[in-house]
A and B are shown apart, each in its own frame.
Chain A
């Protein structure tokens, strides 16, 4: 019994090592694209130009509010790219089916999710510090709790990875990628706080504002706004972290189910 467990654990670690080996060479590309380019462009476009053009030159609160939620796009983009390697693998070589012959399919999926989680989390950490260096006072961090920022990013990375892993296993055609972004991801991140926080949506329509509780992106942006700006307008860190992990668990369970249906493993 112990032998089997230790063997399973060894194979699981080998899979993680294999993932690290595969993505090692791509890390610098991901880091440049998502860790540097996105915060640089969003800092200029949204915090420096857009907020000042719309809300006045000295409205630092607004530039911080707008910029705080912008991370949702690079976060979802990175998660999409790394998890959709599984999607293309399932369409083509089906290497993952070989992995399921040496380890339980659920653990194979779990290894992929765990590695991708760590990978995306590392890529997203420099987003706000880098933007702070660029923006200076325009990004008001006087009330920022950096530990909470990292904590929310940690939970957000897991949620985005498990969500996109579900999509990667669930969808079966390349045309579905367009559907995923146009019909699902666009509403998720636009209504989920890319620009607009939840309390503004609630002010417009309490029904829509309450509906946003079932949008996982809401907890990413609300958690980050709470950690960066703070105050009673945003959901509490505790709520966001619990919700992010609950969504992650839910998406992982669905992924297991969809993976079972997809490859019909025993």
Chain B
């Protein structure tokens, strides 16, 4: 029988069915996820809105700290969970759902794009309340907000696309056991702690120019700063254009790394 090449339309049909299936799964676990987010948000609002100011944190630093430590870090943490789940799905030792999906008449690039798209949708749904509720509860801290919500949502999606690619690549790049044992301590904690997540980049520069320059190499510095600039206004944060360029560059690099990882894990011959 002659093999019929699949058209773009066929691919899209399967892609949408897979996405639909994932959305059904999301519907089932959404309640549990929202409970987690409610707990996290309450604690973050208390910590950054009430406790830190009592320690002497200047009022104008609450909003950028909340965006970095509560919102951006939550996106990255969700990325880590995505990576962990993906790692279990890669057919290393046993038959997995991914193994079945790889047999579908759908190019791998489409299949993995669906994975990343699902991550973006899921993370967007569960992280947006954190910023909306945060801004509402910490009104006085966000009072001088000069950004624009539409711009913020757009930037949020850009950050989610980058995070999806980054954490997807991470799951494919490393050996299963190395990932399980070391990924947080030897990789992610460096990215998270040596970045502008916990302080704004200009505040770091004022404290330590060396670390500020070093942190510019870290994509998480740019993802956090661009979220701050989009919501709070450009003044005091890295220029949006720079950060956008850096995120684009790191996304392309992430795709190259992911391709290498996929080849390593799934095409051993």
Residues of A within 8 A of B (CB): 29, 32-34, 37-38, 41-42, 44-46, 48-50, 52-55, 57, 62, 65, 77, 81, 178-179, 182-183, 186-187, 190-191, 195-196, 200-201, 203-204
The chain B residue with its CB closest to the CB of A190 is: B43
**A37 and B185 within 8 A (CB):** yes
Q: A50-B198, A196-B51, A204-B50 are in contact. Are A42 and B193 (CB under 8 A)?
A: yes
Contact partner of B39 (CB less than 8 A), chosen from A34, A65, A187, is A187
**A50 and B54 within 8 A (CB):** no
Residues on B with beta carbons closer than 8 Å to the beta carbon of A32? 185-186
**A178 and B47 within 8 A (CB):** no
B61 located at the interface, meaning its Cβ lies under 8 Å from any Cβ of chain A in the complex: yes
B265 located at the interface, meaning its Cβ lies under 8 Å from any Cβ of chain A in the complex: no
Taken together as a complex, chains A and B put the C-alpha atoms of A9 and B43 apart, in Å, by: 46
Interface residue ranges of B162-185 to A (CB < 8 Å): 181-182, 184-185
**B47 and A33 within 8 A (CB):** no
Residues on A with beta carbons closer than 8 Å to the beta carbon of B54? 200, 203-204
Interface residue ranges of B224-240 to A (CB < 8 Å): none
CB distance from A171 to the nearest CB of B (A): 14
Interface residue ranges of B70-129 to A (CB < 8 Å): 81
The chain B residue with its CB closest to the CB of A199 is: B54
Residues on B with beta carbons closer than 8 Å to the beta carbon of A34? 185
Residues on A with beta carbons closer than 8 Å to the beta carbon of B186? 32-33, 37
- Count of chain A to chain B residue pairs whose CB atoms are closer than 8 Å in the complex: 99
Q: Which of B133-141, B149-157, B200-208, B255-263 contacts A (4 or more CB under 8 A)?
A: B200-208
Taken together as a complex, chains A and B put the C-alpha atoms of A191 and B45 apart, in Å, by: 12
CB distance from A185 to the nearest CB of B (A): 11
**A53 and B199 within 8 A (CB):** yes
Taken together as a complex, chains A and B put the C-alpha atoms of A200 and B54 apart, in Å, by: 7
What are 16 A-B pairs at a CB distance below 8 A? A29-B181, A49-B207, A49-B208, A50-B198, A52-B208, A54-B56, A55-B57, A62-B55, A77-B184, A178-B81, A182-B39, A187-B39, A196-B47, A200-B51, A204-B46, A204-B51
B145 located at the interface, meaning its Cβ lies under 8 Å from any Cβ of chain A in the complex: no
CB distance from B138 to the nearest CB of A (A): 14
B190 located at the interface, meaning its Cβ lies under 8 Å from any Cβ of chain A in the complex: yes
Taken together as a complex, chains A and B put the C-alpha atoms of A183 and B34 apart, in Å, by: 11
CB distance from A56 to the nearest CB of B (A): 9
CB distance from A78 to the nearest CB of B (A): 10
**B185 and A33 within 8 A (CB):** yes
Taken together as a complex, chains A and B put the C-alpha atoms of A55 and B181 apart, in Å, by: 36
B40 located at the interface, meaning its Cβ lies under 8 Å from any Cβ of chain A in the complex: yes
Residues on B with beta carbons closer than 8 Å to the beta carbon of A77? 184-185
B58 located at the interface, meaning its Cβ lies under 8 Å from any Cβ of chain A in the complex: yes
Given contacts A33-B181, A191-B46, A195-B51, 10 further A-B contacts (CB under 8 A): A29-B182, A38-B189, A48-B211, A49-B204, A49-B207, A52-B208, A54-B57, A178-B81, A182-B40, A200-B55
CB distance from A198 to the nearest CB of B (A): 11
CB distance from A39 to the nearest CB of B (A): 11
**B193 and A186 within 8 A (CB):** no
Taken together as a complex, chains A and B put the C-alpha atoms of A81 and B194 apart, in Å, by: 24
Taken together as a complex, chains A and B put the C-alpha atoms of A62 and B184 apart, in Å, by: 27
The chain A residue with its CB closest to the CB of B211 is: A49
**A54 and B194 within 8 A (CB):** no
Contact partner of B47 (CB less than 8 A), chosen from A29, A57, A65, A195, is A195
B143 located at the interface, meaning its Cβ lies under 8 Å from any Cβ of chain A in the complex: no
Taken together as a complex, chains A and B put the C-alpha atoms of A44 and B65 apart, in Å, by: 17
The chain B residue with its CB closest to the CB of A74 is: B185
Taken together as a complex, chains A and B put the C-alpha atoms of A158 and B51 apart, in Å, by: 29
The interface centre, meaning the residue of A37, A42, A49, A57 with most chain B CB atoms within 10 A of its CB, is A49
CB distance from B49 to the nearest CB of A (A): 10
CB distance from B208 to the nearest CB of A (A): 6
B52 located at the interface, meaning its Cβ lies under 8 Å from any Cβ of chain A in the complex: yes
Residues on A with beta carbons closer than 8 Å to the beta carbon of B206? 53
B249 located at the interface, meaning its Cβ lies under 8 Å from any Cβ of chain A in the complex: no
**B43 and A191 within 8 A (CB):** yes
Taken together as a complex, chains A and B put the C-alpha atoms of A182 and B39 apart, in Å, by: 8
The chain B residue with its CB closest to the CB of A66 is: B55
B16 located at the interface, meaning its Cβ lies under 8 Å from any Cβ of chain A in the complex: no
Contact partner of A196 (CB less than 8 A), chosen from B36, B52, B58, B81, is B52
B217 located at the interface, meaning its Cβ lies under 8 Å from any Cβ of chain A in the complex: no
Q: A41-B193, A54-B199, A187-B39 are in contact. Are A48 and B208 (CB under 8 A)?
A: yes
**B211 and A186 within 8 A (CB):** no
**B194 and A44 within 8 A (CB):** yes
Residues on A with beta carbons closer than 8 Å to the beta carbon of B65? 54
What 5 pairs across the A-B complex have the smallest Cβ distances?
A: A33-B185, A45-B193, A53-B203, A182-B36, A53-B199
Taken together as a complex, chains A and B put the C-alpha atoms of A44 and B195 apart, in Å, by: 11
Residues on B with beta carbons closer than 8 Å to the beta carbon of A201? 51
